[in-house]
Chain A
Amino acid sequence: MNHLSLIIKREYLTKVRNKSFLVMTILSPLIMIALITVVAYLSQLNNSKERTIAILDDSGKVQQVFENTDNTKYIKLENLTLDNAKTIAAEQDYYGLLHISKFENIERAENGIEFYSDDSPSLSVITEIENKIEKRLTDLNLEQKGANVALIEASRIRIDINQENYTGEKTSKIDSFLKLGFGGVAGYLLFMFIIIYGNMIMRSVIEEKTSRIIEVIISSVKPIQLMLGKIIGTSLAGITQFVIWIILGGVMLTVVSAIFGIDVAAVKTPQQEMLQQAIENPDINMKVQSVMQSFYNLPIANLIIAFILFFICGYLLYSSLYAAIGAAVDNETDTQQFMLPILMPLILAVYVGMFTVIEDPHGTVSTVFSFIPFTSPVVMLMRIPFGVPIWQQILSLALLIGTFMFTVWFAAKIYRVGILMYGKKPSYKELLKWIKY
């Protein structure tokens, strides 16, 4: 086993000292931060731009709901014809002109409401205006029909259903978001890790073949030792890189947001905003509390142990295949034909995870895919936050380890023959023959 540690050490050190590895390790978080900063800055710029909207309310019943905000200024025009108002709005370079005609019947008021602007206005502006008018007209309508609007507002009741399973554990909507987040991050991390570092292993096997050192090494150590050493050494280098990325990224993000005063958390997609609106309704204290509560509700110990085991086994399973491919070919361009069968189950796993697990974590499809060894690491990691019986986890892991041992044996066979084969572009048939050598 002394050989194995020697090989691991060499693989690790060569990877870590490699110039492009160093550059990537330092540069990647820098680029990421730069991108985030630029996006954050731009969206802040966008939000802080002040808009002026003119309102010509002929009915005189709606305009009072428009109050100036930080970003939007409302100018109420009076005693003007629509044409005059348009001219003024155009001359003053207002963002737009909202025209509300006189109406008799509130329920038909919609026909008399128009918005004029040079460019097509942003969706969020229109939605905001629509919401305001809708609310106002509804209130007016209610009043007209004899209802007491103030009373209605006061009687409004909000519901956030308390969810609890039969054994008494409380859950909530926030729980589900957190679980999805956890599973998604874990599954995606594994996916990325396999693709990046699996390729690295493959390249380093090919490098050994092209530099022709392989026969020298093989006359000292067993091929399987060399293969495992390569896989482990490269993975350790990968973990080092990941940790550096996380630390460096965190530090730089803090520094950058402190220096430029950019609130990176303010970068939001429309979906996030909607989500936030949904969560923001209860008061803020409740929210923080329930997030913490949800966090503690997660099966943390189970998650961590399962994450480590499935991550390692899943990664080893795929990386041994990458190593075998590296051994089978002479140069990187020949790897294409073998890449598809590796990538297919991986991508399938991510898709199943993204669509099926979110929809129904314990449905038939999710359950089946969380047992099939090539998809199980990703899918099972996504399922576990939702609570998977231990026996299922153990069975899936056992299947995974069994398959892993088989692929290592298989890969070692191909590796043993392949590393000494030059100048042949192997087919699948050829590979099967190698197993028998």
Chain B
Amino acid sequence: MDNLLEAHSVSKSFGNFKALNNVSIAVPKGSIFGLLGPNGAGKTTLIRIINQITIPDTGHVLLDGEPLKRHHIQNIGYLPEERGLYKSMKVGEQALYLAQLKGMDKAVAKKRLLDWFERLEIGDWWNKKIQELSKGMAQKIQFVVTVLHEPKLLIFDEPFSGFDPINANIIKDQILRLRDEGATVIFSTHRMESVEELCDHIALIHKSNKVLDGNLNAIKREYKTNTFEIGINAKNPTELQKTLSEKFIVSPAEFKSLNNELKLNIKLSEKETANQLLSYLTTQGELSHFVEVIPSANDIFIQTVKNN
């Protein structure tokens, strides 16, 4: 698969503090790429380097195979975490100004803006001042301004903060729609459930180093421990648990169910397969629950950060 964006061994120091140490990432075309990491890991620095706000000390960034140049700014839409708008400017005027700064023609910008305002049902805001809007409303305007020039690459830093669930959903749908129309999205967040929902690739940055990256499903496969969560109405629960404990690594499981059955997490060794376990269990009672435990993005995040 083609990569839209590649960062090669990027390093950046601020005085004695190393914000990024030899970080490389590759963002495939048409993907939603999650840039993850604890606070202060260096995500924002990397994003600023991609936006040419900060210049890297060493390393280089390619956009569509070309080294990053000034004119590429028109191909990038960036929604920073620290965002705001001119408070005393009118919504329409301000959106037009920001669009023109991205190199758009005024007439085209206006037409697209009106389309977007209609799509998000905010058409009557055109002549309002930002200070008359609520925070969530201003965020919507900000989102529109970010995507208006239809860039190839969209960078969202915590896009959902400040939105109520309904509006967060609207924005999420719009992000997916933009992806379907061909945009590539870099998505930086702490909210793992939205990573789970949206991202197909991730990179995890911790203490200035990249510690993990790749396709999310591949990573999950790598992180899964061959563990199965079971629920069984055994004829003899105590006996069964004892037998299982001798063969496998077993721990109690927690999940919701209607019956008071025996709930266990069973970790298989590499030699055994799920089928073997399943057929053994069916002989021991009525099986009500059999699921492979797939690590969540959250688990992977916490585990990786702790291990490093």
Which A residues lie at the B interface, using CB under 8 A?
A: 3, 6-7, 10, 14, 18, 208, 211-213, 215-222, 420, 422, 433, 436-437
List chain A residues, Cβ under 8 A from B53: 215, 218-219, 420
Q: Taking A6-B100, A221-B101 as contacts, is the C-beta distance between A213 and B84 under 8 angstroms?
A: yes
Q: Taking A18-B88, A219-B53, A219-B73 as contacts, is the C-beta distance between A10 and B97 under 8 angstroms?
A: yes
List chain A residues, Cβ under 8 A from B52: 219
Select which of B14, B15, B86, B100 is within 8 A of A213 by beta carbon: B86
Q: 18 A–B contact pairs at CB < 8 A?
A: A3-B101, A7-B101, A10-B97, A14-B89, A211-B87, A212-B82, A213-B84, A215-B82, A216-B79, A216-B83, A216-B84, A217-B101, A218-B53, A219-B52, A420-B53, A422-B82, A433-B15, A437-B14
Contacts A219-B73, A420-B53 aside, 19 further interface pairs with beta carbons under 8 A come to A6-B100, A10-B97, A14-B86, A14-B89, A211-B86, A212-B82, A213-B85, A216-B79, A216-B83, A218-B51, A218-B53, A219-B51, A219-B53, A220-B73, A220-B98, A222-B70, A433-B15, A437-B14, A437-B15
Q: Taking A220-B101, A220-B102 as contacts, is the C-beta distance between A215 and B80 under 8 angstroms?
A: yes
Give the docked Cα–Cα distance between A337 and B53 (Å).
Answer: 28
Instruction: Give the B interface residue count (CB, 8 A).
Output: 27
Whether a CB of chain A sits under 8 angstroms from the CB of B187 is no
List chain B residues, Cβ under 8 A from A213: 83-86
List chain A residues, Cβ under 8 A from B11: none
Q: How many A-B residue pairs have CB under 8 A?
A: 60
Give the docked Cα–Cα distance between A222 and B69 (Å).
Answer: 12
List chain A residues, Cβ under 8 A from B228: none
Give the docked Cα–Cα distance between A220 and B80 (Å).
Answer: 12
User: B51-64: contact bitstring with A at CB < 8 Å (1 yes, 0 no)?
Assistant: 11100000000000
B97 touching A6 by the CB < 8 A rule?
Answer: yes
List chain A residues, Cβ under 8 A from B79: 216
A427 CB to nearest chain B CB (Å): 13
List the 7 closest pairs (A to B, CB-CB), nearest first: A212-B84, A215-B80, A220-B101, A211-B84, A219-B78, A219-B51, A213-B84
User: B92-125: contact bitstring with A at CB < 8 Å (1 yes, 0 no)?
Assistant: 0000011011100000000000000000000000
A216 touching B98 by the CB < 8 A rule?
Answer: yes
B87 touching A219 by the CB < 8 A rule?
Answer: no
List chain B residues, Cβ under 8 A from A220: 73, 98, 101-102
Give the docked Cα–Cα distance between A216 and B77 (Å).
Answer: 9
List chain B residues, Cβ under 8 A from A18: 88
